[in-house]
Structure 1
Amino acid sequence: MVAAFEVAEGAAGADVDRLWSALRQDLVGGFPGSLAAHRDHTLTALLRVAPATSLDRLAERLCELKRPHERRQDVLVSVGVSRLCRAVDEYPDAFEQARHALLIGRAMRGPGSAVTFDELGAQWHLFHVAQQQVRDVYQERLQRLVEHDRAKGTHLFRTVEVYLECMGNAKLAAERLFVHRNTLRLRFQKIRQVAELDVTDPGRWFDLMMALRIIRLRELTARAGHGGARGGDRGSPRSGGGP
């Protein structure tokens, strides 16, 4: 099977070559007969594993292997794991599976996560939708929030995202955003003004959640095309505090 690794955060001050060399040594030692090579902020490994290997357990083991190196270099390393390969001609697909698991997994769980391709589920289909140029009305209106946040330094997009993650629980959403509930209500008013969206309407939640995920995946794909997505990139609607 194939595992793809990428430095996701804090790489500016890290010795990435040293990180990959040390991790490659651990991978080859932990999985005899395996191969690994790195380039810039990514490392790809062909891991030799038993046919009955549990991919979930494998992902946990890869996390255990990378964790000391993350602490040593003060970085986060994301991992994507393909399905098991039972024939040589399955490896091209496995490389793509690992890449998709890395990229989409980072969008689903954040930097530093380890995700298998089989865990992606419907997110894999949304990834392909995100590559299309067509935008529905929910994507267009949420994009207004992204642009407003970039121009004004607000956090309206993230507010919608957290509120939906909390299934409309305003108290919990305010706590996760580190704001007062009155501030949250003011944000809802601003969201209606900027994007013509009532995020408190449960009938819109499914469409909004799909549009949010597509925008996230599109953003990550665009950034990955320019050397990889790293936390803290300007324009990423991630922060919760502030206006």
Structure 2
Amino acid sequence: MRGTVNTQPRAGLRRVVEDLGTTLLDLVCGDPDTAGNIGGVVIHDPLDEPVLPRQALVLGIGVRGPDDTVRLLTALGDAGAAALVVRAPAPADPAVITAARKSGVALLALTRGASWAQLAALLRSLLADGDVGEAGPQTLGGTPSGDLFALANAVAALLDAPVTIEDRSSRVLAFSGRQDEADPSRVETVLGRQVPERFTRLLEDQGVFRSLYRSDQPVHVAPPETDGFHIPRAAIAVRAGDEVLGTIWAAVRSPLTPQRGQALHDAAKLVALHLLRLRAGADVERRLRADLVSTVLEGGPGAPEALSRLGLTGSAGVVLALAVPDPPGLADSPDLHAQHTAERQRLADAFALHLSATHPRAAAALIGDVAYGILPLPPRQPDAEERAARTGTDFLTRIGDRLSPLIGIGTTARDGGALPRSRDGADRALRVLRSHPGPRRLATVADVHVEALLLDLADLSAERGDPTAGPLARLLAYDRQHDSHLVDTLRAWLNAFGDVPAAAETMYVHQNTFRYRLRRATEVARADLGDPDVRFALMLQLRLLRN
């Protein structure tokens, strides 16, 4: 039996490992970067050896033991295959590792509990459209791929009960009909597309989620003692291997019969497949858009084609750069880092949605740790940057202060070729906001032009290794040696434009004490503070010292 799919090269093995490695596949040995584009996906059949395309990804269904694995790796190496996937755990035998290295075929392991059908469906999303099976609309289990609402209705028909499909955070992804037959808590959940927090706390206190995540069988949930929740539930975790993707909840009057329990168990596998397809498809779409936006903002020979694919040819535009400050302790906490990464992606998605609502042809993508948005505007728009600032301000107002995001806005690009310069301006404005924490959360590059120049000058000085010199260097050395505050005194005086009472107040000292310190600073620095050039030089040095 042959199962060749996706005969057109679409993606490399590195892409497959990165996208599926957290869910379904583990890299046992081999270097994904040495393989070229995947030329096809083939199901191995020892009774009818298929003809392999170059750089094939072979699904070793039923391949067990080190001897079988070694023989297949050797044969695949001669045929020019890219990788072999076997069921986990892969044979832990030195001969297997040696065969993989000699053949140049990477060895991957499909996690236990995941189905080969799930893997094939995800490879379909990653490698090509319509790569597995027939052309036309794709279906999974007879339901249109990704249509969770149709699937919820199908499960409801099997169980004769209203059903919801929820993610790990109890957000409602889809629901069936007949919700009016359930209790008020279900109606409130469907209307809000989220299980109310008071109900999730009750379920957590009862250990319901713990039971769900520990079992692959349906769990009967008795209604907690609270108003609005009086119909029992049958629930099951939706899994892909060891990963819990979500849950299915059915409002039932009595415990499920064994037949209906098995139906819910089987339905959970199909729901997992749909959720994985949706996630993979969203990841592919997000990555493609990020590549196009990145190409446009970097400029170069590929930019015109990327502009055309984004629908931005012939438009003026302004680049907005959004970033989230790193929380304290991020580097020392892997859990906090993962949570922060997920929140940053969700914020970037919300930013893209907001820009699209503002202008249908707006493009946005997360590139590194910054979400860039391109806001297209009519040519010769006189207030382009002001409009972009209003758009950014509206977004910050909507999302609130929890993550404290910052937005930098670049200059107006009169055409697509000038977008890299607008992006540079947005980056510079964003850097100023990051370097000077405070209540200000949005700035155009024109607003912070001087601060951006000072940061550029500080970079240049640091790159050349220029030491602090002249009067300020003498003051710094004196302060270090005598634990005095002459530099702070000079800074306060300069900031107060020579107003001694105001400067003394900022230092919380008496005016006479301040005058003494200022005279001492003048003597140590050997500087004439009456000379405007000297004052300017000292002010500039102090600003660079602070940056």
Scaled by the length of structure 1, the TM-score of the pair is 0.62
- Displacement of 1:193: 5.1
Whichever residue aligns with residue 93 of structure 1, its letter is R
Distance 2:386 2:437 in 1: 18
Higher RCO (C-alpha under 8 Å, 6+ residues apart): 1
Distance 2:328 2:494 in 1: 31
Whichever residue aligns with residue 173 of structure 1, its letter is A
- Corresponding residue for residue 83 of structure 2: none
Whichever residue aligns with residue 494 of structure 2, its letter is L
- Displacement of 1:37: 0.9
Q: Which structure 2 residues correspond to residues 16-165 of structure 1 after superposition, within 5 A?
A: 16-32=340-356, 33-37=362-366, 39=368, 42-51=369-378, 52=381, 53-56=383-386, 58-59=388-389, 61-63=391-393, 65-66=395-396, 71-73=401-403, 77-104=405-432, 110-111=437-438, 113=440, 114-121=442-449, 125-130=453-458, 131-132=460-461, 133=464, 140-145=470-475, 156-165=486-495
Distance 1:145 1:7 in 2: 37
- Displacement of 1:4: 2.9
- Corresponding residue for residue 91 of structure 2: none
Do the aligned residues in 2 keep the contact of 1:9 with 1:111 (CA within 8 Å)? no
Give unpaired runs (5+ residues) of structure 2: 1-317, 331-335, 357-361
Distance 1:35 1:80 in 2: 14
Q: What RMSD over aligned residues (CA atoms) do the two structures have, in Å?
A: 3.9
Q: 2:542 aligns with which of 203, 212, 229?
A: 212
- Displacement of 1:188: 2.1
- Corresponding residue for residue 174 of structure 1: 504
- Displacement of 1:191: 2.8
Distance 2:352 2:324 in 1: 19
Note closer, same or farther for the CA distance 1:190–1:3 as it changes in structure 2 (3 Å cut).
Answer: farther
Distance 1:182 1:147 in 2: 24
Whichever residue aligns with residue 34 of structure 1, its letter is A
- Displacement of 1:49: 4.3
Scaled by the length of structure 2, the TM-score of the pair is 0.32
Q: What is the total number of aligned residue pairs between the two structures? A: 210
Distance 1:157 1:68 in 2: 43
- Corresponding residue for residue 231 of structure 1: none
Distance 1:152 1:5 in 2: 44
Note closer, same or farther for the CA distance 1:65–1:125 as it changes in structure 2 (3 Å cut).
Answer: same
Note closer, same or farther for the CA distance 1:27–1:211 as it changes in structure 2 (3 Å cut).
Answer: same
Whichever residue aligns with residue 84 of structure 1, its letter is T
In the alignment, is residue 196 of structure 1 matched against residue 513 of structure 2? no
**Higher strand proportion, which one?**
2
Note closer, same or farther for the CA distance 1:112–1:140 as it changes in structure 2 (3 Å cut).
Answer: farther
3-state SS of paired residue (2:413) = coil
Do the aligned residues in 1 keep the contact of 2:320 with 2:388 (CA within 8 Å)? no
Distance 1:151 1:57 in 2: 53
- Corresponding residue for residue 2 of structure 1: 319
3-state SS of paired residue (1:82) = strand
Note closer, same or farther for the CA distance 1:62–1:12 as it changes in structure 2 (3 Å cut).
Answer: farther
- Displacement of 1:166: 2.2
3-state SS of paired residue (1:118) = coil
Looking at CA atoms only, which structure, 1 or 2, has the larger radius of gyration?
2
Do the aligned residues in 2 keep the contact of 1:78 with 1:112 (CA within 8 Å)? no
3-state SS of paired residue (2:365) = strand
- Displacement of 1:173: 2.5
Do the aligned residues in 2 keep the contact of 1:77 with 1:112 (CA within 8 Å)? no
Give unpaired runs (5+ residues) of structure 1: 220-243
3-state SS of paired residue (2:401) = helix
Note closer, same or farther for the CA distance 1:70–1:156 as it changes in structure 2 (3 Å cut).
Answer: farther
- Displacement of 1:149: 5.9
**Higher helix proportion, which one?**
1
Q: Percent identity?
A: 22
- Displacement of 1:111: 4.2
What does the per-residue CA deviation read over 1:148-189, in whole Å, with 9 as the maximum and x for residues that have no partner?
667777654444334323222222223334444345335424
What does the per-residue CA deviation read over 1:41-97, in whole Å, with 9 as the maximum and x for residues that have no partner?
x42312314343442453355345336767324xx5443221122322222222222
Whichever residue aligns with residue 80 of structure 1, its letter is G
- Corresponding residue for residue 227 of structure 1: none
Distance 1:10 1:183 in 2: 41
Distance 1:70 1:170 in 2: 41
Note closer, same or farther for the CA distance 1:101–1:170 as it changes in structure 2 (3 Å cut).
Answer: same
Note closer, same or farther for the CA distance 1:16–1:127 as it changes in structure 2 (3 Å cut).
Answer: same
